[in-house]
Amino acid sequence: MFKEETAPHRLTVLGSTGSIGVNTLDVIRHLGGRDRFEIMALTGNGNITLLAEQARATGARMAVTADESQYVALKDALDGTGTVVAAGRSGLIEAATMNAEWVMAAIVGTAGLAPTLAAAARGATIALANKECLVSAGELFVQAVQKGGGRLIPVDSEHSAIFQCLEKDQRPSLERIILTASGGPFRTHSREQMAEVTVQAARTHPNWSMGLKISVGSASMFNKALEMIEAKHLFDVGPEQIEVIVHPQSIIHSMVGYSDGSVIAQLGVPDMRTAIGYALTFPARPQLPVDRLDFARIARLDFEAPDETRFPALRLARTALQRGGVQGAAMNAAEETAFDAFVDERIGFLDMADIAETVMEEMIAFGGATSINDVFEADAEARRRAVDAIARKEKAA
Ligand code: NAD
Ligand code: MG
């Protein structure tokens, strides 16, 4: 059970206005809120009404909007509260630098990398939802956390599951990790059908309620591709030890296989608060108001092999894992750029993977990153190339 003395006291939530951020504040409220924790900083982007509301409710010391044009509005909304207001990239770094012992990294995309690194550098415990940090910066990110003296606790449901199943003394017997994937809304679609899908259809996840980017990423299985690379860096396993299995009910969150044939799984209802709570009170477990599994009602759990022809993102992740270097950063940045174009209805659903593949091929000869600056450069280069690839698609259409 959760004991006050084992949990951190000063907390920061980067990306507090998003799906993970809102769930994180809900967990914090359930575990005692202001009586038990001190909120050092909250950050958002465009949604300053919610950000201001959150800052008032939690008594946050600092509130930051990434969007500089919203600075004055946020400052007005928090007038008289004593909450320090800042904006832009430097504001995000300031928020991450506040002396919270525990930082939830829940910004979406590579926009979260610099602030999360700033928190890691001063030794905070990083609860990592923002998987793009690991996909882009890989070992450099892990090293930054180690150098800072803090630790990394996964929040992604699959990686939290694996973290919960990995027995500390059994590492030498670890054979494989098995990431489960729901298969998303297009699990049974043909490629012809997928070519025609709308943004609205792609964002409708069968089991989880999440932000737009990850919902579309679940439909294309690009999210699983990111998670394969995330798993490699979190658990220090080889590409051949990472398996993906489609499990449409999203009850088993992931599994670990050992050398004696045993497989250990973590199960629960699809509710991110379990993984968030575990990251907050680890190694204890909090008391949370999530639904309990009713096995008689679930009755059955299904599994299917993933189809890399219909979901090429999985193949791209394997390629990135095998090639190493900046291929993860290239894949992620190209897909983020292609995702924006898909949401703007400039390209089709299947074009996203095509663009990521094109950019990865173009950047194959790029050397590995030896500094975070190299990662930012590779990210920017991949975005430029993705913009060109998108323009070619638009011209051809
Ligand atoms: P979301 O879109 O709901 O929220 C994103 C947050 O980041 C918001 O607070 C937003 O204001 C902020 N943000 C957006 N653009 C920004 C920018 N340019 N600079 C600074 N801040 C910015 O996303 P989400 O679904 O909560 O996902 C957040 C992260 O957690 C992602 O990396 C996602 O892959 C991961 N994750 C989410 C879930 C889930 O259930 N939602 C599950 C596992 C992992
Ligand atoms: Mg996940």
Residue range 175-232, pLDDT digits in tens? 999 999 999 999 999 999 999 999 999 999 888 889 999 999 999 999 999 999 999 9
39-55, pLDDT tens digit by residue? 999 999 999 999 999 99
What distance in Å separates the CA atoms of residue 149 and residue 167, rounded to the nearest whole number? 22
Q: How far is CA 156 from CA 179, 253, 284, 348, in A?
A: 11, 10, 18, 27
Alpha helices in 16-101, H assignment, sequence order: 19-30, 48-58, 71-77, 88-97
The pLDDT of residue 238 is: 96
Residue 119 CB coordination number (10 Å): 28
Distance of CA 121 to the CA centre of its chain: 20
18 lines ligand 1 (CB under 6 A): yes
Q: Would the CB of 138 count as within 6 Å of ligand 1?
A: no
**CA 75 to ligand 2 centroid distance, Å:** 35
Give the position, in ligand 1's atom list, of the atom nearest the Cα of 15.
9
Q: Considering only CA atoms, which of 195, 192, 193, 188 is closest in space to residue 351?
A: 195
Q: Which ligand is nearest to the CA of 217?
A: 1
- pLDDT reading at 327 higher than 50: yes
With 70 as the cut, is the pLDDT of residue 90 above it? yes
Flag whether pLDDT at 68 surpasses 90: yes
CA of 15 to the centre of ligand 1 (A): 6
Residues 62-85 have a mean pLDDT of 98
Contact (CB, 8 A) for 92 and 85: no
Tens-digit pLDDT profile for residues 388-397: 999 999 999 8
Q: pLDDT value at position 2?
A: 47
- 152, β-bridge pairs: 126
Ligand 1 atom closest to the Cα of residue 43 is: 9
Q: Provide CB contacts within 8 A for 57, sequence distance 6+.
A: 25
What's the pLDDT score for residue 5?
Answer: 53
Residues 126-163 as b or e (16 or more Cβ within 10 Å = b): bbbbbbbbbbbbbebbbebbeebebebbbbbbbbbbbb
Asked if residue 19 has its Cβ within 6 Å of ligand 1, the reply is yes
pLDDT for the residue 167: 86
CATH code 1.10.1740.10 region(s) in the chain: 169-268+302-396
First to last CA, the chain: 58
**How many Å lie between the centroid of ligand 2 and the Cα of residue 156?**
5
* Partners of 252 in beta bridges: 267
CATH 3.40.50.720 placement within the chain: 4-155
Q: Tell me the average pLDDT of the chain.
A: 96
E strands present in 167-290: 174-181, 242-246, 252-258, 263-267
CATH class as words, domain 4-155 = alpha beta
CA angle 358, 360, 364 (to 5 degrees): 120
Share of the chain above pLDDT 70, in %: 98
User: Per-residue pLDDT tens for 111-158?
Assistant: 999 999 999 999 999 999 999 999 999 999 999 999 999 999 999 999
User: 70 pLDDT band (50/70/90 cuts)?
Assistant: very high
Those residues whose C-beta lies under 8 Å from the C-beta of residue 131, and which sit 6 or more positions away, are 156, 159, 226, 227, 230
Cβ of 250: how many Cβ atoms within 10 Å? 20
Examine the pLDDT at 4 and tell me if it is beyond 80. no
Atom from ligand 1 closest to the CA of residue 22:
26
Does ligand 1 lie within 6 Å of residue 129's CB atom? yes
User: Ligand 1: which atom is nearest the Cα of residue 214?
Assistant: 34
CA distance readout (Å), 210 to 20, 58, 158: 8, 23, 15
pLDDT for res 7: 80
131 Cβ inside 6 Å of ligand 1: yes
45 lines ligand 1 (CB under 6 A): yes
Q: Report how far ligand 2's centroid is from the alpha carbon of 333 (Å).
A: 19
What does the alpha-carbon distance between residue 189 and residue 300 come to, in Å, rounded to a whole number? Answer: 23
Q: Which residue in the block uniquely carries the two structure tokens 């967990």?
A: 27
355 CA distance to ligand 2 middle (Å): 23
Ligand nearest to the CA of 224: 2
With cut-offs at 50, 70 and 90, classify the pLDDT of residue 6.
Answer: low
> Residue of the nearest CA to atom 36 in ligand 1?
129
User: According to the model, what pLDDT value does residue 170 have?
Assistant: 87
152 Cβ inside 6 Å of ligand 1: no
- Amino acid identity of 165? C
Distance 249 CA to ligand 1 centre (A): 23
Mean pLDDT score, 95-107: 98
Neighbours of 91 (CB within 10 A): 24
Are the CB atoms for 251 and 293 separated by under 8 Å? yes
For residue range 281-313, what is the model confidence (pLDDT) as tens digits? Answer: 999 999 999 999 999 999 999 999 999 999 999
Q: Is 329 in the pocket of ligand 1 (CB under 6 A)?
A: no
Q: Residue 1 above 60 pLDDT?
A: no
Q: What is the CATH number of domain 169-268+302-396?
A: 1.10.1740.10
| Ligand 1 touching residue 106 (CB < 6 A) | yes
